């Protein structure tokens, strides 16, 4: 119970990686806010342990402020933010010059602006409690330069940079900022995308040192470590969790 008496917000927490992380943090004793656009109530009920559900579009400032306010109203504050919400599983890989401006902006609004807004509002609450932890969910794609998903890869590269810059800025406030970078993960959304499954599953499997598919539960150990007490002197780092597909 390393997170006893801690309050954690997990965005995109209704399914996939976010759902797995939210469950693990609750098991470690945290009071969890499951934030998502749909499925959040079912996820909170399944997690139990006093978890609450909040509907939140992270690209909307008013939604994010309401999410943090709900955490404070329910549990008294915020100690942990997991910036997991993002657009990926619905994307269809293709040449960069086929990406519309609308789709580019949509990915950036959720993946980058959303992470910024959530961090900005959560840190205000963390300062009231003497510090906290931010865990950004990045991706292994910017390290490898994965083609045909330029908007997504660019957005996750921004998250890696954001992690470093925020860590520098917030260290004095005792807010530690790190990231996990998963490989191609078989979440519910990804498995429902036949193009991604056809084009990316086998390629990703062959690239791994550990020769099996990656599932959301593979991320939770690293996530729990980076928001817990055992990582108290680690900040600004991105931990790649991809079964050994990329070494750096």
| Catalytic residue positions, numbered | 152
Pairing of strands 80-83, 7-11: parallel
Distance in angstroms (rounded) separating the CA atoms of residues 170 and 176? 7
Backbone φ and ψ for 81, nearest 5 degrees, come out as -125, 125
Torsions phi, psi for 129 (to 5 deg): -110, 10
Q: In what order do the strands lie in the sheet with 7-11?
A: 52-55, 31-36, 7-11, 80-83, 132-137, 175-182, 238-241
Question: Among 90, 115, 127, 126, which Cα is nearest to 35's?
Answer: 115
**Residue 16 in contact with residue 185, Cβ under 8 Å?**
yes
Q: For the chain, where are the E strands, in sequence order?
A: 7-11, 31-36, 52-55, 80-83, 132-137, 175-182, 238-241
Of 193, 197, 189, 182, the closest CA to residue 242 belongs to 182
Among candidate residues 32, 121, 26, the one with its CA nearest the CA of residue 69: 121
């Amino acid at each position: 119970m390393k997170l006893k008496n801690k309050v954690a917000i997990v965005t995109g927490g209704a399914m996939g990686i976010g759902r797995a992380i939210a469950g693990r943090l609750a098991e470690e004793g945290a009071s969890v806010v499951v934030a998502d656009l749909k499925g959040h109530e079912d996820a909170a009920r399944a997690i139990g342990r006093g978890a609450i559900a909040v509907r939140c579009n992270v690209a909307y400032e008013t939604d994010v402020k309401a999410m943090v306010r709900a955490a404070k109203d329910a549990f008294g504050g915020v100690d942990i933010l997991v910036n997991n919400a993002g657009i990926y599983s619905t994307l269809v890989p293709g040449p960069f010059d086929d990406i519309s401006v609308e789709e580019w902006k949509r990915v950036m609004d959720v993946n980058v602006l959303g992470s910024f807004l959530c961090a900005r509002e959560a840190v205000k609450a963390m300062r009231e409690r003497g510090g906290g932890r931010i865990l950004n969910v990045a991706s292994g794609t910017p390290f490898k330069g994965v083609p045909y998903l330029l908007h997504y890869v660019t957005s996750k590269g921004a998250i890696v940079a954001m992690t470093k810059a925020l860590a520098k800025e917030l260290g004095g406030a005792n807010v530690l900022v790190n990231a996990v970078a998963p490989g191609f993960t078989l979440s519910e959304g990804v498995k429902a995308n036949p193009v991604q499954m056809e084009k990316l599953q086998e390629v990703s499997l062959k690239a791994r040192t550990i020769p099996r598919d990656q599932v959301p539960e593979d991320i939770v150990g690293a996530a729990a470590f980076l928001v817990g007490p055992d990582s108290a002197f680690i900040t600004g780092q991105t931990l790649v969790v991809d079964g050994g597909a990329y070494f750096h």
